[in-house]
């Protein structure tokens, strides 16, 4: 290894150890076999000698990250000439102890902002993974700042890459733009039904990092003024090329091996044989025995050595010393460090894909049980029930034997504790939860309820909370839990539904008006409107409509002008949202009066829905797929918050898609995991973070919606990602410290 340190230069290791030396520049070549003598010859490093054994045990063969390269800062004045503006004003201002460039955008152009040219004509950023822009919204309006990184000839689509960041007033965060070099390739349509594919160099949405000419910061189609402060612009992160390339083999098919892994490349942890599986099992058993879990936890995963609070026999919430916490049944502070989809097994379609798989295990009698038909909501198989296979389940049977299910359930609890995790999150196997060895969450939904036919959303329509089917379904669902999670001390509480179609603050009201005349929500809305306006003429005057009678409005499927009808639309939206949360809360507490209502796991939410949740939920939950939550703000003010889903992924271990929040490699994923959870721990409102999910999705896509993300703590062959596990253990060990 070769280390070079100069004045005030940062050497960043992918480990817990960070050093900053402010010394005259010196260079050092380190051979681990001769470490002692070389360190002793450098006075500035003699103090490291007593640590070097622990240091190298800690980082092993970890790479040293590329040092960040500052592209722009704003000390005194913009450093580089040629900075141009488009319908924007700029000024250098003090930002705490540093300086920033304040950018105020106008409304006269479609994309007002600034252009920052490379000082010498271009940058070579080939060693970096992304460009970062530190930014704060100092204006009065919530706004989205866009960043475009250009090659020559960039036009917004070609020869450039883009990123964006939405900020509330007063919020500071980091805008990230990945320097993508590769694009997906479907091999002339021979590959299909996936979210991510093996890659080729170049294509739309990619850039040549050796010739970056400028960076643009702008807002899009603004109707109001925005003010942002840009702290610095820098390139960061080691670029790691994806594992799977379309040119890896000729012929390319078959490209999936008998374990469900990408066939044409190797990577750390890949399984090549049944012997590998058994060896992994034996090695992990020794590791789990040696590292049973945090020593300062009680049986639930609460802080055994912390303050003794009121014990109720169930989980509850309490604000303690200015921060919201969960409190476990024994009265100990509890932060829910959890993971979703524990022991849930995804299946992948095999129809139309016979030539994709080598030594397909589904043809063997002992694995026939893992064949079946699955429902596809989106993508190539949408609306069909194609034949599928569960590679992950077949691998578990190979690894743990014919009686794999109870064996694996026991190992799962052992893993969770050892990995510093104390909660089984949503979508998990009920049989594992009922063993009552790890705290868990449960959920109920709107299945069977009539939907608002005029509503719309990514996962479907919104339930009609005014239709009797909604309330009846909730109460049936909770009654079914009487012999299970209801009144179980190990159950934190209940989520309801997931990532619902909340839309904007008028969407539910507009959806009701666009529904048939017999829609319960529409009838409820009309009752409110009649009570307010009396005569239809009064409503027509307010809305600018021409309905002849109230009955005619009931038959109409046309929405009014949202601006003219806004007051009534937002009022009914609020009524609908509050009715949803109130009815769910009442259904839960009718059967499980001592357990928490954990909210609906917002993915897309507006302030109206958020405030309605605050009135009726014990905890408000969000699925927050972003790099961090330390600065997260919600409009419900002082309520405990829980992250129901987040993840990070990379394409350096054989999968074709990194998930919703990509990072460059597994080392970066581990660091980002720690940063995310520790950011939540420091936040005064968050009481937990739940990672999505336990195991990677199938390499060839899950049947439901084609996702094939590298987002597991385990790969498809049940092999833990060691970097992520180490990060989780580290977080768990300091969870309460």
pLDDT, residue 96, reads: 78
pLDDT band at 26, cuts 50/70/90? very low
For 193, counting Cβ atoms within 10 Å of its Cβ (0-12 exposed, 13-18 middle, 19+ buried), the class is: buried
* Size of the chain, expressed as the number of residues it contains: 737
pLDDT, residue 447, reads: 87
Answer yes or no: is pLDDT of 40 > 80: no
- Which segments of 96-198 are extended strands (E)? 98-105, 113-117, 128-137, 143-150, 160-167, 172-178, 182-184
pLDDT, residue 29, reads: 34
pLDDT, residue 574, reads: 98
Percentages (nearest 5) of helix, strand, coil residues in the chain: 25, 25, 50
Answer yes or no: is pLDDT of 371 > 60: yes
Domain ranges of the chain: 2-59, 69-238, 274-426+611-733, 507-572
> Per-residue pLDDT averaged across 681-697, rounded?
98
Cα distance between residue 323 and residue 132, in whole Å: 31
What is the CATH class of 69-238?
mainly beta
pLDDT band at 514, cuts 50/70/90? very high
pLDDT, residue 12, reads: 35
Is residue 640 a contact partner of residue 685, using CB atoms and an 8 Å limit? yes
pLDDT, residue 724, reads: 98
Cα distance between residue 670 and residue 10, in whole Å: 20
173-177, 322-326, 370-374, 635-639: the lowest-pLDDT one: 635-639
Cα distance between residue 377 and residue 460, in whole Å: 10
pLDDT in tens, 224-269: 999 999 999 999 999 999 999 999 999 999 999 999 999 999 999 9
> Per-residue pLDDT averaged across 463-471, rounded?
98
What are the C-alpha distances in Å from 194 to residues 186, 352, 690? 9, 13, 25
Answer yes or no: is pLDDT of 9 > 50: no
Q: What is the mean pLDDT of the chain?
A: 90
pLDDT, residue 445, reads: 93
Task: Supply the pTM of this predicted model.
Answer: 0.89
What is the CATH class of 274-426+611-733?
alpha beta
pLDDT in tens, 264-296: 999 999 999 999 999 999 999 999 999 999 999
Q: Which residues, 6+ apart, have CB-to-CB distance to 77 below 8 Å?
A: 92
Answer yes or no: is pLDDT of 34 > 80: no
pLDDT band at 39, cuts 50/70/90? very low
Cβ atoms within 10 A of the Cβ of 554, count? 17
Tracing tokens 């003429």 back to the chain, one arrives at: 537
pLDDT in tens, 59-113: 333 334 458 999 998 875 555 567 899 999 999 998 778 889 999 999 999 999 9
Cα distance between residue 598 and residue 622, in whole Å: 10
Answer yes or no: is pLDDT of 31 > 60: no
> Per-residue pLDDT averaged across 318-343, rounded?
97
Answer yes or no: is pLDDT of 681 > 60: yes
Q: Closest Cα partner for 417 from 437, 446, 400, 395?
A: 437
Answer yes or no: is pLDDT of 611 > 90: yes
pLDDT, residue 19, reads: 31
Answer yes or no: is pLDDT of 588 > 60: yes
pLDDT, residue 459, reads: 83
Answer yes or no: is pLDDT of 650 > 60: yes
* pLDDT greater at residue 672 or residue 458: 672
The percentage of residues in the chain with a pLDDT greater than 90, rounded to a whole number, is 85
Residue 252: CA count within 13 A, CB half-sphere: 14
Decide if 69-238 and 274-426+611-733 have a common fold. Answer: no
pLDDT, residue 737, reads: 87
Answer yes or no: is pLDDT of 58 > 60: no
Cβ atoms within 10 A of the Cβ of 505, count? 18
> Per-residue pLDDT averaged across 418-437, rounded?
97
Answer yes or no: is pLDDT of 20 > 90: no
> Per-residue pLDDT averaged across 214-221, rounded?
97
Answer yes or no: is pLDDT of 24 > 90: no
């Amino acid at each position: 290894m070769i280390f070079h340190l100069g004045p005030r230069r940062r050497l960043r290791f992918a480990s817990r150890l960070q050093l900053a030396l402010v010394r005259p520049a010196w260079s050092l070549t380190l051979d681990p076999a001769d470490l002692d003598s070389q360190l002793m010859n450098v006075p500035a490093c003699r103090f490291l000698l007593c640590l070097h054994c622990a240091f190298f045990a800690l980082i092993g063969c970890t790479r040293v990250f590329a040092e960040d390269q500052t592209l722009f800062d704003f000390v005194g004045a913009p450093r580089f000439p040629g900075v141009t503006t488009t319908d924007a004003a700029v000024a250098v201002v003090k930002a705490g102890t540093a300086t920033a460039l304040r950018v105020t955008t106008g409304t006269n152009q479609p994309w007002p902002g600034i252009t920052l040219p490379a000082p010498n004509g271009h940058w070579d950023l080939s060693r970096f993974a992304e460009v970062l822009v530190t930014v704060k919204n100092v204006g009065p309006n919530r706004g989205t700042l866009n960043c475009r990184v250009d090659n020559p000839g960039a036009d917004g689509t070609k020869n450039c890459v883009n990123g964006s960041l939405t900020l509330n007033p007063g919020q500071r965060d980091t805008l990230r733009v990945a320097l993508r070099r590769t694009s997906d390739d479907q091999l002339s349509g021979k590959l299909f039904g996936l979210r991510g594919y093996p890659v080729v160099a170049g294509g739309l949405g990619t850039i040549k990092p050796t010739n970056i000419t400028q960076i643009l910061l702008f807002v899009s189609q603004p109707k109001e003024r925005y003010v942002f402060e840009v702290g610095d612009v820098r390139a960061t992160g080691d670029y790691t090329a994806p594992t799977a390339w379309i040119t890896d083999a000729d012929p390319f098919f078959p490209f999936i091996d008998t374990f469900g892994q990408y066939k044409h490349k190797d990577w750390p942890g890949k399984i090549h044989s049944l012997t590998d599986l058994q060896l992994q099992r034996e090695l992990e058993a020794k590791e789990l025995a040696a590292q049973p879990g945090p020593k300062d936890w009680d049986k639930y995963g609460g802080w055994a050595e912390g303050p003794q609070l009121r014990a109720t026999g169930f989980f509850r919430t309490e604000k303690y010393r200015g921060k919201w916490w969960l409190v476990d049944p024994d009265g100990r502070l509890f932060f829910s460090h959890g993971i979703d989809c524990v022991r849930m097994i995804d299946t992948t379609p095999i129809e139309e894909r016979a030539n994709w798989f080598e030594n397909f295990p589904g043809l063997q009698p002992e694995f026939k049980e893992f064949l079946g038909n699955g429902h596809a909501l989106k993508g190539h198989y949408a609306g069909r029930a194609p034949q599928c296979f569960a590679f992950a389940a077949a691998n578990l049977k190979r690894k743990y034997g014919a009686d794999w299910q109870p064996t694996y359930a026991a190992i799962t609890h052992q893993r969770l504790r050892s990995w510093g995790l104390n909660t089984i999150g949503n979508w998990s196997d009920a049989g594992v939860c009922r063993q009552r060895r790890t705290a868990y969450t449960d959920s109920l939904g709107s299945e069977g309820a009539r939907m608002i036919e005029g509503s719309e959303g990514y996962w479907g329509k919104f339930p009609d909370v005014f239709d009797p089917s909604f309330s009846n379904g909730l109460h049936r669902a909770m009654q079914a839990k009487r012999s299970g999670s209801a009144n179980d001390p190990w159950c934190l509480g209940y989520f309801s539904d997931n990532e619902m179609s909340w839309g904007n603050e008028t969407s539910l009201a507009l959806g009701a008006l666009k529904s048939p005349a017999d829609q319960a929500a529409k009838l409820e809305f009309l009752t409110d409107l009649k009570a307010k306006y009396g005569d239809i003429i009064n409503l027509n005057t307010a809305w600018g409509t021409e309905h002849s009678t109230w009955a005619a409005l009931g038959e109409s499927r046309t929405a009014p002008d949202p601006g003219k009808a806004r007051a009534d639309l937002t009022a009914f939206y609020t009524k609908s949202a509050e009715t949803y949360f109130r009815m769910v809360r009442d259904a839960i507490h009718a059967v499980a009066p001592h357990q928490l209502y954990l909210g609906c796991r917002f993915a897309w939410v507006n302030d109206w829905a958020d405030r309605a949740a605050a009135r009726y939920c014990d905890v408000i939950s969000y699925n927050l797929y972003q790099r961090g939550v330390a600065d997260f703000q919600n409009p419900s003010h002082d309520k405990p918050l829980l992250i129901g889903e987040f993840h990070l992924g990379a394409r350096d271990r054989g999968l074709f898609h990194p998930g919703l929040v990509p990072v460059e490699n597994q080392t970066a994923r581990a660091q980002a995991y720690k940063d995310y959870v520790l950011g939540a721990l420091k936040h005064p409102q968050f009481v937990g973070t739940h990672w999505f999910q336990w195991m990677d999705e199938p390499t060839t896509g899950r049947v439901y919606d084609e996702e094939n993300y590298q987002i597991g703590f385990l790969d498809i062959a049940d092999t833990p990602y060691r970097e992520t596990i180490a990060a989780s253990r580290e977080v768990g060990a300091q969870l309460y410290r």
